Amino acid sequence: MATADQGLAATVLETTRVRALASSPDVYELARTLPSRPEGGPGRPNQFPDFVWVLFAGMTGIFGSARKTAAAMTDPVYWHLIREGVARCLGPAEALALPPRGPSRNQWNYHSRRLHTQLPRMQETFRDLAAAQALAAGYAHDDGHHPIALPPRERFVVGDGTVVASPLRKTATRKAKKKRKAKTPDQPVRRRKSRRDPGAGWHYEGGEEEDGGHPVFGPKFVHLSVRGDRPLSRIILDMRYQPPGGGYGGEAAIAVTMTTDAVRRLPGLLGVCWDGALRGKHRDTLMKAGLQVVSPQHDGIQPRRLDPITTCPCSRQHDLWAQDGAVHEAEILDTGDLHRTRCPILRPERRGRTGRTRWYHLIRLSCGNAHRIRLDTTPDDTRREFNRAEHLRQHPPDTDGYIHCYRWRPDAESLNAQLDATLWNRRMIAYGAAQQTLIMLGFAIAQNALTRHLHQRATDHGSQAAA
Ligand SMILES: [Zn+2]
């Protein structure tokens, strides 16, 4: 699906994308959250209404650079498409009040900076709008049921962290060159005024440093999205900047916040797919919030003995272990070796109300009797310092549930690829966390606008065909 999506995305014309963006009500809703500027106040006069800056940010998510966006904005064809969208969403008077051509790159550079202090509010509004769009598209439908074995895709979110290459090329090499230059005699060291990107930092991709991840330099963002099986049906629910350095919990902590925020808006969500960044404590928080968490089991986790069952009606004692995320039963072989066999899961169970959910597996023991075992961490576990959620999984890897859900995870990588393919030179096109966040927000707005537009078009065709 991911590749089909990318292939199809390449055939969507830029005019379609701009039309979709300009006729997205989200653009104007987001602009409404911005404080109005008093006439004759300080700063440059703004001949454009604020929604033009939201549109500009969105268009950088189509054209991949501010330069090309400004060129499109001053092009009569694109400007006409924009006016049509404005007329559709705000009425013909607003469209007529627009200047004859769009803003320049300089005007964008000046006015976009005004938006920096408004970013938290804009992001919060974006999350509300994206959740509303998801509901309207029929995703995260809350029917009161919580299917665990084979949940539907539209009720699962997928997320990932992505490091966008820094706009600065080869920082490390440049430093090395400088050093070499300094050694050349009789030549004064010329200090080139080099640009810094305060938004970029060293991050690890493909796992943390100790897991063999490789370092990448650039600004990092974490995103969360939901989709159906139709091509180009993805809705980005959240997009957040991750500061460099690990003191705040990193990608996994942001993932937990984003997912629990999404569930607050979309109580019909059932679960989340993520890569190995999520560990036991993160999964535990998400499980208690009522969610299924599908992510690979960490390599370095050794099998661990669980409390033995001494009360089985078969009157034998069962020696239980956690291994590869699943409950195993150990027996001593004739050779004296310990052999562990995975206990079949008869039924996964979700109990308690959302927010204080408890999770269990009903497993079959070697004697044939069933046994219920808790999967999320209990207060007693905490006292014993037993990280239960690290060792036991709702969907242990290689089970049907895991395979069913984890195949949706590559869609998060497909989003990363689409982002890279959009950005000019496959690099971040802005400096500093705030401006970069604005660009990423613009990308998300443009993506969701296209999804809405294509969905609308398909629905219209459908009803025409039916008529
Ligand atoms: Zn038994």
Per-residue model confidence (pLDDT) at position 336: 86
Which residues span the domain enclosing 438?
Answer: 11-122+431-466
Rounded to the nearest angstrom, the distance between the alpha carbon of 367 and the centre of ligand 1 is: 5
Q: Return d(Cα 171, Cα 388) in angstroms, integer.
A: 43
Asked if residue 449 and residue 355 are part of one domain, the reply reads: no
Rounded to the nearest angstrom, the distance between the alpha carbon of 141 and the centre of ligand 1 is: 41
Q: Are 121 and 33 in contact (CB under 8 A)?
A: yes
Q: Are 243 and 133 in contact (CB under 8 A)?
A: no
Look at residue 204 and tell me whether its pLDDT is greater than 60. yes
Domain-located, residue 67: yes
Kindly report the number of other CB atoms within 10 A of residue 84's CB atom. Answer: 15
Q: Return d(Cα 168, Cα 463) in angstroms, integer.
A: 50
Tell me which of 129 and 145 has the higher pLDDT: 129
Rounded to the nearest angstrom, the distance between the alpha carbon of 310 and the centre of ligand 1 is: 9
Rounded to the nearest angstrom, the distance between the alpha carbon of 307 and the centre of ligand 1 is: 14
Asked if residue 388 and residue 440 are part of one domain, the reply reads: no
Q: Return d(Cα 415, Cα 223) in angstroms, integer.
A: 9
Rounded to the nearest angstrom, the distance between the alpha carbon of 369 and the centre of ligand 1 is: 6
Per-residue model confidence (pLDDT) at position 176: 46
User: Average pLDDT for residues 267-276, to the nearest whole number?
Assistant: 95
Asked if residue 115 and residue 15 are part of one domain, the reply reads: yes
Tell me which of 387 and 40 has the higher pLDDT: 387
Rounded to the nearest angstrom, the distance between the alpha carbon of 358 and the centre of ligand 1 is: 24
Asked if residue 17 and residue 116 are part of one domain, the reply reads: yes
Look at residue 40 and tell me whether its pLDDT is greater than 70. no
Rounded to the nearest angstrom, the distance between the alpha carbon of 311 and the centre of ligand 1 is: 8
Rounded to the nearest angstrom, the distance between the alpha carbon of 215 and the centre of ligand 1 is: 50
Asked if residue 21 and residue 113 are part of one domain, the reply reads: yes
Q: Give strand pairing partners of 238.
A: 224
Least Cα distance to 275 among 301, 255, 248 occurs for: 255
Look at residue 183 and tell me whether its pLDDT is greater than 50. no
Rounded to the nearest angstrom, the distance between the alpha carbon of 145 and the centre of ligand 1 is: 32
Domain's final residue, options 392, 415, 441: 392
Q: Return d(Cα 43, Cα 350) in angstroms, integer.
A: 57
Asked if residue 445 and residue 387 are part of one domain, the reply reads: no
pTM score of the predicted model: 0.91
Domain-located, residue 219: no
Least Cα distance to 405 among 64, 164, 158, 181 occurs for: 158
Domain's final residue, options 342, 372, 392: 392
pLDDT confidence tier of residue 182, bands split at 50, 70 and 90: very low
Rounded to the nearest angstrom, the distance between the alpha carbon of 226 and the centre of ligand 1 is: 43
Q: Are 113 and 435 in contact (CB under 8 A)?
A: yes
Q: Which SS3 state, helix, strand or coil, does residue 272 take?
A: strand
Domain-located, residue 162: no
Least Cα distance to 409 among 158, 235, 206 occurs for: 158
Domain count, the chain: 2
Rounded to the nearest angstrom, the distance between the alpha carbon of 344 and the centre of ligand 1 is: 14
Domain-located, residue 452: yes
Look at residue 227 and tell me whether its pLDDT is greater than 50. yes
Asked if residue 74 and residue 22 are part of one domain, the reply reads: yes
Rounded to the nearest angstrom, the distance between the alpha carbon of 370 and the centre of ligand 1 is: 8
Rounded to the nearest angstrom, the distance between the alpha carbon of 149 and the centre of ligand 1 is: 25
Give per-residue pLDDT as tens, 440-452: 999 999 999 999 9
Domain-located, residue 224: no
Rounded to the nearest angstrom, the distance between the alpha carbon of 366 and the centre of ligand 1 is: 7
Rounded to the nearest angstrom, the distance between the alpha carbon of 306 and the centre of ligand 1 is: 16
Domain-located, residue 425: no
Asked if residue 382 and residue 321 are part of one domain, the reply reads: yes
Look at residue 175 and tell me whether its pLDDT is greater than 60. no
Asked if residue 437 and residue 384 are part of one domain, the reply reads: no
Q: Return d(Cα 154, Cα 303) in angstroms, integer.
A: 34
Q: Return d(Cα 133, Cα 344) in angstroms, integer.
A: 40
Domain's final residue, options 362, 392, 422: 392
Domain-located, residue 81: yes
Q: Return d(Cα 95, Cα 92) in angstroms, integer.
A: 5
Rounded to the nearest angstrom, the distance between the alpha carbon of 337 and the centre of ligand 1 is: 21
Q: Return d(Cα 106, Cα 398) in angstroms, integer.
A: 54
By the CB criterion, residues less than 5 angstroms from ion ligand 1 are: 312, 314, 365, 367, 369
Give per-residue pLDDT as tens, 331-370: 988 888 889 999 999 999 999 987 799 999 999 999 999 9
Rounded to the nearest angstrom, the distance between the alpha carbon of 340 and the centre of ligand 1 is: 16
Give per-residue pLDDT as tens, 424-445: 988 898 889 999 999 999 999 9
Domain-located, residue 19: yes
Give per-residue pLDDT as tens, 48-66: 999 999 999 999 999 999 9
Which stretch of 81-90, 376-385, 415-424 has the lowest confidence by average pLDDT? 415-424
Rounded to the nearest angstrom, the distance between the alpha carbon of 316 and the centre of ligand 1 is: 6
